[in-house]
Amino acid sequence: MPSEIEGVELKQQPILSENERIAAQVRSMLDENGVKAVEFLGGPGCGKTSLIECLIQELRSKYKIGYIGADLATTSDTERISKYGVPVVQINTGMECWTPAFLVKQALEKLNLKELDLLFIENLGNLICPFEAPVGAHVRVGVVSVAEGEDKIVKYPKPLMLADVIVINKVDLAELLGINVEKMVADAKKVNPKGLVVVASAKTKQGIEELVEVLGL
Amino acid sequence: MPSEIEGVELKQQPILSENERIAAQVRSMLDENGVKAVEFLGGPGCGKTSLIECLIQELRSKYKIGYIGADLATTSDTERISKYGVPVVQINTGMECWTPAFLVKQALEKLNLKELDLLFIENLGNLICPFEAPVGAHVRVGVVSVAEGEDKIVKYPKPLMLADVIVINKVDLAELLGINVEKMVADAKKVNPKGLVVVASAKTKQGIEELVEVLGL
C-alpha cells in the first residue's frame, strides 16, 4: 500500500490511481443495473461474514441479493453465504493484502447483475490496506470487534476514517471482557468524520435493525 | 506487499530484497551485542502485547529485556510495556501495513544494545503483510486468537507458514465461543512446516511456560 516512509521506494500511487479508475467502472456497472453495493472491511475474525449473514436474513424478502467474498486462500465464507440461496463469487488473493478493484470487476461479470438489487462485498481480513483501495461499492462499512480490545479504534484511525459506517461488533462479549463500549463509540465518532457508528452483535442480533437503517436499506 | 496479481503493476520485489538486506544488518547488530530478538506478529487485538507482558514478567529476573513496538498511530503498547521498567522504542507507520527493517534498525540505534540480552519486537496488527518482511529477529511468533474464529489458521496459511512458532491465544474464551482448539492446533501444524504450536492465554497464563521453553528462553 502507498507509503511516504523514507528510505524505501514504494511506487504504489500509480497502482492506487489505476485501482480507482477500475473502481469507477465497477460503480458504473452497478449503477447501470440498479444494484446497490455495500462493502464490509475489517480485521481477521471481526465478524464481517456473520454481519452479512444477519443482513441477508433480514433483507432477503425485500431485495435480490448477491455476494462477493475475498479471502487469501479459502472458500469458506462464500460457502457460508451460499446456504442462503444467494449467488456468490469467490475472490482468492493468495498473499495479497487487499482486493484490487479489477478482481471485483471480474467477479461482477460472473454475476447476473440484472437480477440483483443489493450486493454485499466482503473484503479481506485486514484492518489496514483494503480501506485505502475502494472497489466501487456505494457504502463502506468498517468492522471492529470488542474482542480485539477497547483500544482498537484509536489504534487504526487512518483506515477507519475512510469507512462510511463503523460497526462495533460482538458487543455480547463486552461485559465478560471488561470492554467500555461507550468509549469505543466515542473513539469511533472522533475518528470518523461521518460519525455513523452502530453497536452490534451478529450473535444476539443487537444493532442489526439499526445497521439496516443506517445503510438506507 | 509483493504480488503476482495480473493487470496491476506491483513493483515490490525490489523493496523486499532491500528490506532483507537491512534485516540482515539488524541481525548482525543484535548478534554483535549478544541480543536475542523475538518478533510477535498477528492481527489486531490477537494479544501480542499481552503475551509479551507475560513473558517479561516471567523472564525479567533472568534477562535484561528491551522492547520495540510498531503501531499505526499510538504509543499505547510501548506505554504498557514501559511500566515493567523495560527500555522501549515506538515505531509509528501511519498508514503503512508492515514494519520496514530500516525502522527497526533506527529503533535499535536508540537502545543501548550492550545492556540487553533479549529484545521483543512487536509488529503491526496485521495477519498478512508483516509476515513477508522479516525485520531481522531470530524467532518469529505468529499469534492468532480463538476470538477471531476457529477458521483463522486455514484462512491465513501463507503468512502463518512464515512464522517459526504459532500461538493460539485467548484460549480461556474457547469454551464460551464454542471453539474447537484441537482443530486449530491441527490446522496450525498442517500450515506451518516447523509445527511449533503453543495454546495460550495471556489472561490465565496458560501456556506461557511452554512458550518460554519453545522460544529457548
Give per-residue pLDDT as tens, B161-200: 999 999 999 999 999 999 999 999 999 999 988 889 999 9
Burial class (CB within 10 angstroms; exposed 0-12, middle 13-18, buried 19+) of A7: exposed
Strands (E), chain B: 36-42, 65-71, 88-92, 118-125, 139-145, 165-169, 196-199
Interface size between A and B, measured as CB pairs under 8 A:
167
Share of chain B above pLDDT 70, in %: 94
Chain mean position to CA A54: 14
Position A161 pLDDT exceeds 90: yes
User: What average pLDDT does this structure show over B194-212?
Assistant: 96
Share of chain A above pLDDT 90, in %: 88
Residue of A nearest to B144 (CA): A44
β-pairing, B118-125 vs B36-42, is: parallel
What pLDDT was estimated at residue B8? Answer: 47
Position A47 pLDDT exceeds 50: yes
Quote the radius of gyration of chain B (alpha carbons, Å): 17
Q: Do B45 and A149 touch (CB under 8 A)?
A: yes
Asked if A63 and A137 count as a contact pair (C-beta separation under 8 A), the reply is no
User: What average pLDDT does this structure show over A92-101?
Assistant: 92
What pLDDT was estimated at residue A24? Answer: 97
What pLDDT was estimated at residue B4? Answer: 45
Position A1 pLDDT exceeds 80: no
Residue B187's H or E segment, with its range, is helix B181-191
Mean pLDDT of chain A: 93
Interface check A126 vs B, CB under 8 A: yes
Which member of A18, A126, A159 has the closest CB to residue B128? Answer: A126
d(CA B115, nearest CA chain A) in Å: 28
Residues of chain A positioned with their CB less than 8 A from the CB of B145: 45, 147
Q: Which amino acid is at A16?
A: L
Q: Within the 19-48 window of chain B, which residues sit less than 8 Å (CB to CB) from chain A?
A: 19, 43-46
Strands (E), A60-155: 65-71, 88-92, 118-125, 139-145
Q: Nine-digit cell at A113? A: 447483475
Interface check A147 vs B, CB under 8 A: yes
Which member of A19, A148, A170 has the closest CB to residue B44? Answer: A148
Interface check A145 vs B, CB under 8 A: yes
Asked if A42 and B52 count as a contact pair (C-beta separation under 8 A), the reply is no
Residue A157's H or E segment, with its range, is helix A157-160
Position A12 pLDDT exceeds 80: no
Half-sphere exposure of B88 (CA within 13 A, CB side): 21
User: What average pLDDT does this structure show over A67-90?
Assistant: 96
Query: pLDDT tens, B91-110?
Result: 999 889 999 999 999 999 99
Rounded-to-integer distance, Cα A98 and Cα A70, Å: 9
Q: Do A152 and B128 touch (CB under 8 A)?
A: no
Which member of A19, A147, A157 has the closest CB to residue B45? Answer: A147
| CA distances to A77, B40, B70, B147, B191 from B184, in Å | 17, 19, 27, 12, 10
Residues of chain B positioned with their CB less than 8 A from the CB of A174: none
Q: Do A97 and B126 touch (CB under 8 A)?
A: yes
Please tell me the least confidently modeled range out of A94-98, A190-194, B1-5, B209-213. B1-5
Position A91 pLDDT exceeds 90: yes
Mutate to test the interface with A, among B155, B173, B201 (most CBs of A within 10 A): B155
Residue of A nearest to B2 (CA): A96
| pTM as predicted | 0.91
Interface check B129 vs A, CB under 8 A: yes
What pLDDT was estimated at residue B13? Answer: 63
d(CA A33, nearest CA chain B) in Å: 25
Mean pLDDT of chain B: 93
Residue B171 per-residue DSSP state: G
Q: Do B72 and A126 touch (CB under 8 A)?
A: no
Residues of chain B positioned with their CB less than 8 A from the CB of A71: 155
Which member of B76, B129, B149 has the closest CB to residue A151? Answer: B76
Q: Do B154 and A94 touch (CB under 8 A)?
A: no
Position B1 pLDDT exceeds 70: no
Rounded-to-integer distance, Cα A22 and Cα A44, Å: 26
d(CA B173, nearest CA chain A) in Å: 10
Query: pLDDT tens, A102-144?
Result: 999 999 999 999 999 999 999 999 999 999 999 999 999 999 9
Residues of chain B positioned with their CB less than 8 A from the CB of A152: 44-45
Q: How confident is the model at residue A13 (pLDDT cuts 50, 70, 90)?
A: low
Torsion of CA B70, A17, A167, A189, to 10 degrees: 80
